[in-house]
């Protein structure tokens, strides 16, 4: 069994090990089926060591959500600096998809698994702010496009627009993550599917074509 962490850096490293191991187990077996003892066994520690960091399995799951939702928002942060709001909106969708497809286990647990409802306002990480909430980022960009009078005249609900864009990108990503290996579908290249979905969606939302 590894030695007990003594420094703050060692404690943070163990915390990360616990989170990564739990994420993999939750995705592969389901949250309900996994025990704290199994998480500890996966990383070679005792269950007692796990309980020094997390009160229970729900606390582990919350820590995973804290970590992964902030990681997604941080991955999109530079995109928020793009000057043109429509280009920014398109780039945000692309960046979101890149994160999802590069971190499929993160994405499964964040958006494709049954769990306690997530509330960004309850994040425990000290560095959390509204700008690190991915939905806040999307809604901000959509609001910018709306303020620039780029959407169709009949589209007045910013939340509806943002959630429709989110649903489109999520649909492509979730199909890729869960069914890309299914041979009964002659899948087109994932980048082509994403590009076409966004092009069709954006074309339907804007007053004037790009």
Q: Where are the chain's structural domains? A: 1-54, 66-205
Three-state DSSP class for 139?
A: helix
What is the rounded CA–CA span in Å between residue 13 and residue 154?
A: 51
Mean pLDDT of the 16-37 span: 92
pTM score of the predicted model: 0.84
Q: Which residues pair with 206 in a beta bridge?
A: 151
Check residue 2 and give its pLDDT.
63
In angstroms, what CA-CA distances link 131 with 42, 107, 152, 163? 34, 20, 27, 18
Q: With contact defined as beta carbons under 8 Å apart, do 166 and 202 qualify? A: no
User: In the CATH hierarchy, which fold is given to the domain comprising 66-205?
Assistant: Tetracycline Repressor; domain 2 (1.10.357)
Side-chain-facing half-sphere of 47: CA atoms under 13 Å: 8
Check residue 130 and give its pLDDT.
47
Q: With contact defined as beta carbons under 8 Å apart, do 101 and 50 qualify? A: no
Which of 11, 27, 14 lies closest to 68, judged by CA? 27
Assign domain 1-54 one CATH number from 1.10.10.60, 3.30.70.890, 3.30.200.20, 3.40.50.2000.
1.10.10.60
- Residue 131: which pLDDT band, with cuts at 50, 70 and 90? very low
Check residue 90 and give its pLDDT.
97
Mean pLDDT of the 130-154 span: 89
The rounded percent of the chain whose pLDDT value lies above 70 is 88
pLDDT at 126 over 50: no
Mean pLDDT of the 158-182 span: 95
CA 139 to chain centre: 15
Per-residue model confidence as pLDDT tens digits over 78-99:
999 999 999 999 999 999 999 9
């Amino acid at each position: 069994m590894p030695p007990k962490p003594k420094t703050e850096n060692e404690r943070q490293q163990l915390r990360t090990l616990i989170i990564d191991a739990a994420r993999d187990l939750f995705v592969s077996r389901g949250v309900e089926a996994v025990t704290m003892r199994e998480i500890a066994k996966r990383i070679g520690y005792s269950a007692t060591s796990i309980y020094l960091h997390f009160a229970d399995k729900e606390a582990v799951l919350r820590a995973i959500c804290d970590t992964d939702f902030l990681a997604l928002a941080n991955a999109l942060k530079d995109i928020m600096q793009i000057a043109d709001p429509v280009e920014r909106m398109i780039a945000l969708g692309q960046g979101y998809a890149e994160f999802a497809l590069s971190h499929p286990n993160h994405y499964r647990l964040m958006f494709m698994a049954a769990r306690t409802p997530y509330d960004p306002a309850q994040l425990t990480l000290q560095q959390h702010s509204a700008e690190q909430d991915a939905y806040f980022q999307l809604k901000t960009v959509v609001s910018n496009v709306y303020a620039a009078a780029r959407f169709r005249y009949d589209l007045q609900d910013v939340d509806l627009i943002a959630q429709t864009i989110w649903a489109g990108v999520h649909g492509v990503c979730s199909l890729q993550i869960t069914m890309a290996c299914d041979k009964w579908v002659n899948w087109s290249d994932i980048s082509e599917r994403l590009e076409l979905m966004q092009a069709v969606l954006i074309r339907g939302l804007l007053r004037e074509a790009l």
